[in-house]
Amino acid sequence: MNKIRNIGVLTSGGDAPGMNAVIRAVVRTGYYYQYNVLGIYRGYEGMINGEIEKINPRDVSGILQDGGTILKTARSTRFLDIEQKKRAYEICRVFGIDAVVVIGGDGSYRGALDFSKVGMPVICIPGTIDNDIGSTEYTIGYDTALNTVMDSIDKVRDTAYSHERCTVIEVMGRDSGYIAVNDGIAGGADVILIPEADFDIDADVIKPILECRNRGKKDYCVIVAEGVGKATQICDEITRKTGIISRATILGYVQRGGSPTAYDRIMASRMGAKAVELINEGKLNRVVSLINNKVTDLDLEEALSMTKSINLEMLKLAKIISI
Ligand code: ATP
């Protein structure tokens, strides 16, 4: 028999647009299936501190369209310690929490797996702008970030066009080039540099820019994922080796903010509801995933062993269509 009555929900790791829409869906689907939902503030850190309170369906009114997370988020080094996980478990039990829904990236998934091993059932939902979780085709926040970055590229390119310069734009992605590749294509970049593909500055940056110039281009756009190196250094190299005036723009945290797109709101709503449905079906220690465009679930441990690779053909496509 399913003994779960009270569900905790938290957001962890980097914030992502659409996290609020997930919280709303969890709270309201929880209410629909007659569970109490308790918000845990500041991720695992707040859980250890007992920063927990009940959230009612009306408490999540008007947050669907808001970026960030009303529950706040944190990276907790304390939670890496087994004693702190046991403490967090005891605190959850004091509040009556029987299962926890974790919204975050793969680091948060690992924390959830460890937490399940001290006895707390968990469900994970992918929430990160990086789209870098192996077990799912989509992570909440990615579409909004893609659109934010695309808007910024468009704006920076206006000035590069007017001044006939090269613009080098650094986007988020320490280990993953999803934003760089797809925004490179959406923003019409001449060169895209991502952590998944080695590059040589002369062959892969300078040569294509010079070829573009020979074909009559007067402004150029290079997109750099942050994991590859500093945009400012690449910019200096371009200026030094080609004589083309170059300017670096580091988009930074603007990429994490903003109102979620329709796609993120819909995906967040579907995945948030799915998490509660899984609990209701007694399916625990699962992750919610998008697979073949269907919202489904996988075993958490199995999910953490999965990897996905970026389609490197996209880099070739970007090269061809920027001729
Ligand atoms: P993002 O992709 O946006 O960075 P994330 O969830 O991967 O999000 P992390 O900082 O890696 O972000 O992880 C969030 C939190 O999860 C950490 O601060 C820590 O508390 C917990 N965590 C991460 N890795 C582990 C681990 N191996 N074991 C236990 N807990 C972990």
Is it true that 6-141+260-304 and 143-256 share their CATH fold?
A: yes
Residue 1 has pLDDT above 80, yes or no: no
Residue 16 has pLDDT above 90, yes or no: yes
Task: Give me the CATH code for the 6-141+260-304 domain, please.
Answer: 3.40.50.450
Instruction: Express each pLDDT in 57-105 by its tens digit.
Output: 999 999 999 999 999 999 999 999 999 999 999 999 999 999 999 999 9
39 C-alpha vs ligand 1 centroid, how far in Å? Answer: 19
Task: Give me the CATH code for the 143-256 domain, please.
Answer: 3.40.50.460
The packing angle between helices 207-214 and 231-242, to 10°, is 50
**Considering the chain, what percentage of its residues have pLDDT values greater than 90?**
98
Please, what's the b/e burial string for 152-165 (b: 16 or more CB within 10 A of its CB; e: otherwise)? bbeebbeebeeeeb
Provide the 8-state DSSP code for 205.
Answer: I
Instruction: Express each pLDDT in 147-195 by its tens digit.
Output: 999 999 999 999 999 999 999 999 999 999 999 999 999 999 999 999 9
Instruction: Express each pLDDT in 104-154 by its tens digit.
Output: 999 999 999 999 999 999 999 999 999 999 999 999 999 999 999 999 999
Residues within a 6 A CB radius of ligand 1: 12-14, 44, 75-76, 79-80, 104-108, 110-111, 114, 128, 130
Q: What is the mean pLDDT of the chain?
A: 97
- Mutational pocket test of ligand 1: of 19, 75, 124, 133, the residue with most ligand atoms within 8 Å of the beta carbon: 75
Q: Is 130 a residue of the active site?
A: yes
Report how far apart, in Å, the C-alpha atoms of 104 and of each of 129, 163, 224 are: 10, 41, 24
Residues 122/102, Cβ–Cβ less than 8 Å:
yes
* pTM recorded for the entire structure: 0.97
Domain ranges of the chain: 6-141+260-304, 143-256
From the CA of 16, give the closest atom in ligand 1: 3
**Considering the chain, what percentage of its residues have pLDDT values greater than 70?**
99
Beta-sheet strand order (sheet of 246-250): 191-193, 220-225, 166-171, 246-250
Residues 283/297, Cβ–Cβ less than 8 Å:
yes
